[in-house]
Amino acid sequence: MNLPALCFVGITFASIGASVIIAASKSLYVGELDGTLRQVNLRETLVRELKHVGRFEIAKTPEASALILTGTNHIRVRGYVSLNPRSGNLPSEGQPVYGGYVSIKLKDRTGATVWSYVAVPGSGTNGIDRMAKEIAKHLVSAVGKGK
């Protein structure tokens, strides 16, 4: 067997091991999603969506879970929108419109990344909620496939 074939076999076994870990895990800890915009309760919104889906038990501490979801947000307020055309772009007169992205990593207890995803907030004023739903949907889909 040559060296490229050995490398391929190692990668295959590593991905099979990660698939087994993800598929068998029932508990998940959602860590802080540090980043640029702290006013957004992205962690709480994501926990609410994951509870709604019902695939995982959300753990209170990282030690009590098999998987840890962490990430960084690079979300910013792009502007404000209002139904009143005279209000302008003042924060006090409208709803925020978000831009940027969130990078999410799912890690096992050893700290190895077993899944990652980049999400962007949707357009409109409920972009953060839609982004949390998208992250939860893709995470559950990846767990269902064992990837």
pLDDT digits (tens, 9 = 90+) for 22-67: 556 788 899 888 776 665 678 888 999 999 988 888 889 988 888 9
| Architecture of the structural domain at 3-145 | 2-Layer Sandwich (3.30)
Q: What are phi and psi of 71, to 5 degrees?
A: 170, 180
pLDDT score for 105: 93
- Model pLDDT for residues 94-107, shown as the tens digit of each residue: 777 888 899 999 99
Q: How far is CA 138 from the centre of its chain?
A: 9
Q: Over 80: is that where the pLDDT of 4 sits?
A: no
Q: Over 70: is that where the pLDDT of 73 sits?
A: yes
AA letter at 85: P
pLDDT score for 29: 92
Per-position DSSP letters for the chain, written without gaps between them: --HHHHHHHHHHHHHHHHHHHHHH--EEEEEEEEES--SS-HHHHHHHHHHHH-SSEEPSSGGG-SEEEEEEEEEEEEEEE-S-TTSTT-GGGSEEEEEEEEEEEEEETTS-EEEEEEE-PPSSTTHHHHHHHHHHHHHHHHHHHT-
Mean of the per-residue pLDDT values of the chain: 76
Interval 2-24 mean pLDDT: 44
pLDDT score for 1: 45
pLDDT score for 20: 53
Q: What is the C-alpha to C-alpha distance for residues 112 and 21, in angstroms, rounded to an integer?
A: 11
Interval 63-86 mean pLDDT: 84
Q: Over 80: is that where the pLDDT of 78 sits?
A: yes
